[in-house]
Structure 1
Amino acid sequence: MKETTIPVIGMTCNHCKASVESALNELDGVTNATVSLADNNVTVTHEDVTTERLVDAIEEIGYDVPSA
């Protein structure tokens, strides 16, 4: 099991939090996704899911992920 934390730009409310968590939790291999609005990030517990796929799922629903 891996844990990945990804910064997310544009989350401002509980609806944003729920949208990002839902999009990530729907991916095969994701066990849990938890957004921190205070820290502007999401922590994802997963197996066999690339960081690129996690970022794609976030960007597909309209949020930005700053490049490293």
Structure 2
Amino acid sequence: MEKTILIEGMSCGHCVKAVKEALKELDGVKSVVVDLEGKKAVVEGDNLDDNKIKEAIDEAGYDIIEIK
């Protein structure tokens, strides 16, 4: 399963690292690619829960625009 998460508030490499680390902590996540310019993250894994993804991004200090 793959999900693309549109994220608002990332502005630097530190932001990318924070989002990547937050998403990697979630159960079932196999890989995370964060695109600063595209303001998105692509997560691959099993049984990915949109609510848990949203919580992780919120706790990292960023806003989710949409999960596809």
Distance 2:33 2:66 in 1: 20
Aligned partner of 1:6 in structure 2 is 5
Count of residues paired in the alignment: 67
> What SS is found at the alignment partner of 2:64?
coil
Aligned partner of 2:21 in structure 1 is 22
TM-score, structure 1 as length reference: 0.90
Q: In structure 2, what residue type is equivalent to 1:48?
A: N
Between structures 1 and 2, the one with greater strand share: 2
Write out per-residue CA displacement over residues 24-61 of structure 1, whole angstroms, 9 at most, x where no aligned residue.
10111100111101100000001012122111110111
Structure 1 residue runs of 4 or more that deviate by more than 6 Å after TM superposition: none
Distance 2:3 2:66 in 1: 15
Q: Where does structure 1 lack aligned partners over 5 or more consecutive residues? A: none
Distance 1:30 1:18 in 2: 16
Give the aligned CA root-mean-square deviation in angstroms.
1.3
Percent of aligned positions that are identical: 37
Q: Where does structure 2 lack aligned partners over 5 or more consecutive residues? A: none
Q: Aligned runs of 1:1-68 on 2, under 5 Å?
A: 2-66=1-65
